[in-house]
């Protein structure tokens, strides 16, 4: 559960920066949806910590775990704050957006369309790191999130892929997904 929360908070940060860079309110909204998942994870982890304590010695160990949980929650909340810059159309200076373009890696979101090269195929068969220089970091399938994507995961039409990698691969990635 802790690993899932860590992965989710990292994804939220990636998406928030990508939303800012691309000026994409839809991507910023994805951060908000992940916030709901993160709130549930944090609540569940805190409950487990409280229930696991049976002695003062246990409490010391759980205090450290609770600190980690709080840090992950703060990271996620900061990602939401970044995304709000886009959703509330607050804007940032163009020079700062231009500076983000110098990042070696960017995050991107793409929808898998029916009849595309990606539809109904396992991730490993696509060789996305070779084809596009990007790797899948998460998949949103309807309202569910898959953050532990492996090579055997089959992509289906309607999946929203969240990827990280070279910005040079975005055009090819969109072609493979048959995205508009």
Beta-bridge mates of residue 141 = 144
Place of tokens 């000026």: 23
CATH 2.60.40.10 is the classification of domain 104-177: no
Please determine, for residue 180, whether its predicted confidence score (pLDDT) is greater than 80.
no
Q: pLDDT digit string (tens) for 95-138?
A: 776 666 667 788 889 999 999 999 999 999 999 999 999 999 99
C-alpha distances (whole Å) from 101 to each of 7, 31, 104, 162 are: 24, 20, 8, 18
State the pLDDT at residue 126: 95
pLDDT score recorded for residue 67: 94
Which fold would CATH assign to domain 2-96? Methane Monooxygenase Hydroxylase; Chain G, domain 1 (1.20.58)
Q: Which residue, 168, 129, 170, is CA-closest to 151?
A: 129
Please give the structure tokens belonging to residue 179: 């995205």
Separation between Cα atoms, residue 165 and residue 14, nearest integer Å: 11
- The average pLDDT across 151-169 equals 93
Q: Say how far residue 179 (Cα) sits from the centre of its chain.
A: 19
Is the separation of the CB atoms in 137 and 162 below 8 Å?
A: yes
pLDDT at 101: 65
- The arithmetic mean of pLDDT across residues 51-64, rounded, is 88
Give the start-to-end residue ranges of the domains of the chain: 2-96, 104-177
The model's pLDDT over 73-89, given as tens digits with 9 standing for 90+, comes to 999 999 999 999 998 88
């Amino acid at each position: 559960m802790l690993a899932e929360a860590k992965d989710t908070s990292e994804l939220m940060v990636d998406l928030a920066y990508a939303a800012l860079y691309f000026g994409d309110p839809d991507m910023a909204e994805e951060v908000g949806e992940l916030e709901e998942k993160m709130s549930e994870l944090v609540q569940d982890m805190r409950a487990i910590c409280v229930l696991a304590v049976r002695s003062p010695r246990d409490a010391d160990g759980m205090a450290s775990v609770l600190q980690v949980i709080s840090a992950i929650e703060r990271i996620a909340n900061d990602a939401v704050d970044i995304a709000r810059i886009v959703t509330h159309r607050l804007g940032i200076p163009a020079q700062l957006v231009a500076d983000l373009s110098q990042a070696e890696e960017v995050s991107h979101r793409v929808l898998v369309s029916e009849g595309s090269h990606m539809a109904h195929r396992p991730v490993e068969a696509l060789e996305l790191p070779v084809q596009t220089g990007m790797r899948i970091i998460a998949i949103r399938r309807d309202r569910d999130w898959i953050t532990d994507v492996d090579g055997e995961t089959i992509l289906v039409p309607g999946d929203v892929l969240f990827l990280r990698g070279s910005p040079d691969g975005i055009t090819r990635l969109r072609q493979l997904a048959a995205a508009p």
